[in-house]
Chains A and B, each alone.
Chain A
Amino acid sequence: MTTSASGARVYLDHAATTALRPVALEAFTASARTLGNQSSLHQSGRGAKLRVETARDALAATLGAHPSEVVFTSGGTESDNLALKGLYWARRDRARAAGAPECHRIVLTGLEHHAVLDAATWLETHEGARLDFVPVHADGRVDLDAWRAALARDPETIAVSTLMWANNEIGTIQPIAEVAALAAEHGVPFHTDAVQAFGAVPLDFQASGATTMAVTGHKIGAPVGVGALLVRRDAALTPVLHGGGQERDIRSGTIPAALIEAFAAAATEAHAHLPAERERIGGLRNRLIDGIRELVPEARLTGAEDLDPLTGERLPAGTRRLPGNVHFVFPGCEGDSILFGLDMVGVEASTGSACSAGVPRPSHVLLALGTEEELARCVQRFSLGHTSGPADVEQVLSVLPDVHASALRAGLSGHDSRIKTANSQR
C-alpha cells in the first residue's frame, strides 16, 4: 500500500532535501578517513587546511564569489541567523557609537523562510528591532515601488534589508539585482537567502550586489549539516558564535573538512550540470503543471510563471519561477488529505510547512500573498530535482484524479462534518 504499482516510490520533495550525489559521498568518505584539524600547525593540519581551502575555492567558483567571501556554517538556518543578527548588531552598534539616530529597522517581506522571519522577529522582541514589511504581488514578486519607498525612508535607521532569492514554497524568483541595487543606493546592507536558488538557477554573488547570501549543501546533493554564508569583504558582521576565531572571526567552530569537501564536490557537479538540468527539470515541471491543470481544472498554480508578463510567451525555466517547483492550491482539499492519499500510493510531496509535532499549518507564505486561511491549508508542493524523470511526473498524474477526489470528499472535515451525532442539532 505504500509503493506505486511499479514498486518504486516517487520522490517529489527535493525542495525539502535531495538525493546525495555520489561524488559528494565519495569526497566525504575520503576526507573523513583523513586525520587532521585544519587549524593545527603540523603536517596533518596543513593537509586538512589545504583540502578545505581547495574546497572553498571550488565552492566560490560556483557562486561568483571570492574564496575569502565564503564563510562555512552548519546550513541555511545558521547562515540566515548569522546574516540577520550579525548585520543588525554591527550596524546598530556602529550608529549608537557614532551618536547617530537609532538604526533598528529591518526591511523584509512576509514570504521569507522561517530562518529569516523568526530571526527578525527575535530581534524585534529581544533587541528592539522594528520590522518593516514590504508588500508582494499576488505571484509573490516583491512590490519594487514599495521596496524603493521603504529604503528611501530614513535609510540611516535601517540596519538590514533582506529578500529571499527564490521562495521555497511557491518557487517565485525575485528580482534580486534590482532590489540589492536599491539597498546599495542608500548604503543599507542587503541579505538574500539563496538556499532554494542555489543549484537551480545561476547565482553570481558579486554581480548580485548582495552584502550576504545564504546557501546550504543538502539542497544540492551534499550531506545535511554544512552550508555557507557569503559575506562581502567590506561587510561588518557581529559574530553569533564566539570561540576559536575560525572563518574570518565571523563563525567560530572546528571546520568540518569532510562535509565541506562533500559540499564543494556537490556544488561543482550541480554547477556543471545546471544549464542542461534547468531546461530538463523545467520541462518536467511544465508537463506536471499542465497535467494538473488538465486533470483538476479548479486547481490554482501559486507563484510566478515563466511567462513573459507582457506577451504571455514562455520564458526559459528559472526566469521567474524555480525550474523544479510546482505548487498548487486545491480548493476544498486539505493539504494533509492530498499528502496522505499520495503517500499511500507511493508519491511523496509536501504541504509546505508543519509545526514541530508534525501538524500541517496554513502556509505563512500563502497568507502573506493574501490567500485566505481556508485556502492556505489546501496546498500541495511537488518539487523536482536531479534524480527526477518523466516517469515520476506521469506517475503523479496517473494517481492524482483519485487522490484529489477522495481529498475533496474528506473536504474540510476538520471544520465541519456531515455525520449526525447526538448533539449536532444544538
Chain B
Amino acid sequence: MKVLAAMSGGVDSAVAAARAVDAGHEVVGVHLALSRMPGTLRTGSRGCCTIEDSRDAWRACEKLGIPFYTWDFSERFKEDVVDDFVAEYAAGRTPNPCMRCNERIKFAALLEKALALGFDAVCTGHYATVLRNGSGSLELHRAADWAKDQSYVLGVLTAEQLEHSMFPLAETPSKDLVRAEAAERGLSVAAKPDSHDICFIPDGDTRGWLNERIEMTEGDILDTEGNRLGSHPGAQAFTVGQRKGLSIGRPAPDGRPRFVLEVRPKDNTVVVGSKEMLAVDRVTGIRPSWAGAPLAEEATGEWFDCHLQVRAHGDPVPARARVERPGRADAAPQAHDAGTWVIELFEPLAGVAPGQTAVLYQGTRVLGQSTIDAAFNAARVA
C-alpha cells in the first residue's frame, strides 16, 4: 500500500511510520503545519508544528529513508479546531480539540488530500486497533495497552475514515517498548517527552488562553434553587465539576464544598451545588456517528448495553443506550436522520459537561460517539 505517515515530530508517530515501512508499505512522511505562525520556535516543553517538531519529524524520515514534506493545514485547523474550541467554551460547553482534529483534519482534510495524491491510507501513532470482523466490516477497538489507549479520541471516526486508517502501535503492550524500539532504531526522538496538553495553547494555561479570547462579564453564582450566592468574573471561565475559584462568601448550610453544576452563558450565571448533585445518571447526545457498522439497535431504537466514556482518560461506566428519533412516527423517515442518543448510566458519573464527547464501548470495541448536549441528575430533576 501507499501510506502517508502523519509525523508530529514525536516518538509514537516515528515508530508507527517505521513499522509501516517494515511491513513493506511505500511510506511518505508528512508533518502537518497547524499553527498560524509555523515559523515560531517552541516555548517551554510544549508546542505544535514548531520548527523543532518539523525538524524532528524530518530527521526521523531521513533515518527511515522515506521522503518527507510539510503540509499546511493551518487555515483548516484554525477554523475547524481552534475557532470551534473557543466557540464551544463561549457557549458554556467543554469540547475536546484533539478529537475534533482527528475528525476534521487528520482523517478528513489530510486523508482526502492523501487519497487524491494516490495514497491508500493515513498512518498515525495512535494507540488503537482497527480490525475487520467476521462479516467483513471494520471495527475500532482499544489498544493492547489500556494505559495508553487512545481509542476515545478516535471514536469519532466513521467507517469511511477507518477504512483508510492505519495504527501500527495498536498491539504494543506499553509505551516504554515504543521508546525502546525508537532508541534501537536510532530515532533521535526516542527520549522526547510526551505531549499531553492542547497543542495550540503553548504554555498549557487553557483558562488564561480562553480568557484572552472570550469576552467575560461579571455575573451571579446561584444555587439550584436560584438563590444568589456570590459573583463570578464570567460564566465561560467555569467548567462543570470545578470546585476551585468559586468566591462564595457564605458557606453552604451543610458546610460541605460546592461544585459547578451548570454553566449558563445565556444569562451569564453559574449554578453550584453539592457533590451528589454533580453525579449524572442520564445523558443525551447529539450528532452521533458509528465507528464502523452500526449495531442493529441503531435502526430499531431498542436499548443496548454498553459502557460510556466521557473523557480521554476517564474510566468507562456501565450503561445502556438507545437511538431516539422524535417525531418519526408521524413524519416520513429521513434517510440521514442519525437521531439522538439517550444514555442511562448504571453507576453515577461526576463532572459530565455538555460539549464533551460520549463514546460508547462494548468490551474493547468502540461503537461510536455523540456530543453530550444535556446531562441529568436524578436528585435535581426530582
Contact = CB atoms under 8 A, between A and B. Distances in A.
Interface of A: 1-2, 336-337, 339-341, 343-344, 354-361, 406-407, 409-411, 413-426
B117 A406 contact: yes
Contacts of B13: none
A57 to B, nearest CB: 42
A420 to B, nearest CB: 7
B158 A357 contact: no
Given A357-B38, A357-B70, 11 more contacts: A341-B117, A344-B28, A357-B54, A358-B33, A359-B70, A417-B108, A418-B112, A419-B107, A421-B161, A421-B289, A423-B287
A419 B72 contact: no
Which of B38, B50, B72 counts the most A-chain CB atoms under 10 A from its CB?
Answer: B72
Given A357-B33, A359-B70, A426-B287, A409 B116 contact: yes
Nearest to B288: A422
Contacts of B158: 420-422
Contacts of B376: none
Contact of A421 (B49, B103, B116): B103
B69 interface: yes
Contact of A406 (B54, B71, B73, B116): B116
Contact of A356 (B39, B69, B112): B39
Contact of A415 (B75, B104, B289, B371): B75
Interface string B75-105: 1100000000000000000000000100110
B76 A415 contact: yes
B156 A421 contact: yes
A422 B156 contact: yes
A419 B69 contact: no
Given A355-B38, A406-B118, A419-B111, A414 B72 contact: yes
Given A414-B109, A417-B109, A420-B158, A355 B39 contact: yes
Contacts of B150: none
A359 B111 CA distance: 18
B72 A410 contact: no
B103 A337 contact: no
B287 A425 contact: yes
Given A357-B33, A419-B111, A421-B104, A336 B287 contact: no
Given A1-B26, A357-B50, A414-B71, A419 B113 contact: no
A238 B116 CA distance: 54
Nearest to A2: B67
Contacts of B103: 421-423
- CB-CB nearest 6 A-B residue pairs: A422-B289, A410-B116, A409-B116, A358-B70, A413-B113, A359-B33
Contacts of A407: 116-117
Contact of A359 (B58, B72, B76, B117): B72
B117 A422 contact: no
A378 to B, nearest CB: 13
Interface residues of B, number: 43
A330 B108 CA distance: 23
Contacts of B50: 357
A315 B274 CA distance: 85
B160 interface: yes
Contacts of B39: 355-357, 359
B117 A410 contact: yes
Contacts of A410: 112-113, 116-117
B285 to A, nearest CB: 11
Contacts of B72: 336, 359-361, 414
A407 B104 CA distance: 20
B370 to A, nearest CB: 8
Contact of B160 (A341, A355, A420): A420
Nearest to B80: A423
Nearest to A337: B117
Interface string B324-362: 000000000000000000000000000000000000000
Contacts of B116: 337, 406-407, 409-411, 413
A269 to B, nearest CB: 34
Nearest to B27: A1
Nearest to A356: B39
Interface string B27-62: 010010100001100000000011100110010000
Contacts of A422: 103, 156, 158, 287-289, 369
A393 B251 CA distance: 81
B161 A414 contact: no
A348 to B, nearest CB: 12
Nearest to B111: A419
A1 B28 CA distance: 10
Given A357-B39, A414-B76, A344 B67 contact: yes
B104 A423 contact: yes
A337 B73 CA distance: 13
Nearest to B33: A359
A340 B288 CA distance: 36
Nearest to B290: A422
A251 to B, nearest CB: 28
A418 B109 CA distance: 8
Contacts of A337: 113, 116-117
Contacts of A343: 67, 69
B58 A358 contact: yes
